[in-house]
Structure formats: structure tokens, C-alpha cells
Amino acid sequence: MNIEEKVVLITGGAAGIGKAAARKFSTAGAKVVICDVNAEAGESLAKELGVEFYCVNITDRKAVQAWVDEVVARHGHVDVLVNNAGITRDGMFVSVKEGVLVKQMEEAAFDSVISINLKGTFNCAQAVAPYMIKQGGGVIINVSSVVGLYGNFGQTNYVATKAGVIGLTKVWARELGKKGIRVNAVAPGFILTEMTAKMPPNILDDMKNKTPLGRLGQPEDIANVFYWLASDESSYVHGTVISVDGGIVIGT
């Protein structure tokens, strides 16, 4: 699928969906470069797969630019960016008992999720776009979520970022399409990663019950879609959001 020798950047590549994507692309012969704030996990994966690892905080615009500049200096080009890095800091918007406010989402929790999930996506795409324009094309894949489409209880901050990522995708598709850069978003459903595996069994069962296919997704289910979107097989897919969610129906 014309992936061999392409330079693929994956943020949040040390674990979960990012790790599965790194394995998928590297197995196909791509030159995979991952970044993550978890240096230990990143270095371990780099050694296991033979990929390149950089410890980068994607909220730091200068650090992101330095990372991308170094990758291009080393390889001469950058073909694919998978904007995968993200966090959750869940909590009720407001919680009221007998008319009295007892708890609300903390400002720090809102700011940190916005900074990583939304600004980080912006930072990375803006760093690679000029190089892609200069070389005549490229692919940007932004990771949203089904909750960005439907909302979800207790996730004001996370939903705001994932809906925002869809908005970024639509704008960049309009602005960058004529430059040969395809931009799409992937909206995973409930995926069994290191993060979700720590959830209580009753929560995981509820996730399964809301998924018509009757199971949680695997990171590889998402990595497979990244791989297709990065390839020439999807050359006319642009500015869209692909849900990979087992047919999930989200309720309160």
C-alpha cells in the first residue's frame, strides 16, 4: 500500500493506540518516529521495534518544531503525521446536592486536557505542514473520539478537545487540500488500552453493553485505519471523520 520508506511521525507513540500504530507502520517498512513524554516506555519500544524515539512535550511549540526539524534534517522529508497523543481528566462539570454546589471540574483539569489534546494537535500539524507543502504533499491524521461526536457524561474537557479536533480537521482539509496534503480524523470508540484496562470491571462491562459488536476495540483496530488513511488506497478520502467504534451508542 505504498507505505515502505515513508517517514511517519506518531505522537503519544509509546503506549496504547500509538504503540499499535508504530508497530503497524514499522512492520510495513515505514521509517517510524515516535514522540512521547514517557521516556522509559518510548525508549523501550524504540529498541523493540527499531523505530526512532524523541521525548517531546507536544504542548511546547518550540520543542515540537525542534523535533520536526531534526526529523526532516535526518530523513529529508516527512510524509505522515498521526496526531495521537491525548489525556483524560474526567469529572463532573458541576455536582449539586440539595441545591448546594459540592464539586465541579477544576480549572487545571480543563486546561491540561485542552493544552495536550487540542493545542498539541495544532502544534504538531503546524510544524509539519510547511515541510509537506514544500515537498508537494503528505497526510495528517488527527485522533478524535466518538465522544467528540456525541458527548459523554463527565467529560466536558475531553469532549471539547475531541470535537475541536474534528473542527481543526475540517479547516485544514480546506486549507491544505490544494497543497496535496490530505487531512482526516479517526474517532475511536471504547478501546482496550493500558488506560481503560485500569477501569473498574463494571465500567468496562457497561462499555461493552453499549457496543453492538459486544466487545471493546483493540488498539490494532485503530492502527489499521491509520495505515489505510496514510496509504494511496485512500487517496480520495479527505476532510472526513471515520468512526471506529463497533457501532457504539452512547447514553447517560
* Alpha carbons 33 and 21: distance in angstroms, whole number: 11
Closest CA to 58 of 111, 3, 127: 127
With contact defined as beta carbons under 8 Å apart, do 225 and 184 qualify?
Answer: no
Taking alpha carbons only, the member of 112, 141, 137, 103 closest to residue 125 is 141
Q: Are 153 and 107 in contact, with CB atoms under 8 Å apart?
A: no
Distance of CA 224 to the CA centre of its chain: 14
What is the rounded radius of gyration, in angstroms, for the C-alpha atoms of the chain? 18
Task: Assign 78 to helix, strand or coil.
Answer: coil
Single out the catalytic residue among 131, 158, 227, 236: 158
Which single residue is written with the C-alpha cell 466487545?
Answer: 215
What is the C-alpha to C-alpha distance for residues 194 and 218, in angstroms, rounded to an integer? Answer: 11
Q: How many Å separate Cα 111 from the centre of its chain?
A: 18
Q: Using CA atoms, how far apart are residues 238 and 232, in angstroms rounded to an integer?
A: 12
Q: Is 158 a catalytic residue?
A: yes
| Grid coordinates of 67 | 523535533
For the record, the C-alpha cell of 30 comes out as: 515505514
Q: Give dist(CA 99, CA 93) in Å, integer.
A: 15
Active site residues: 158
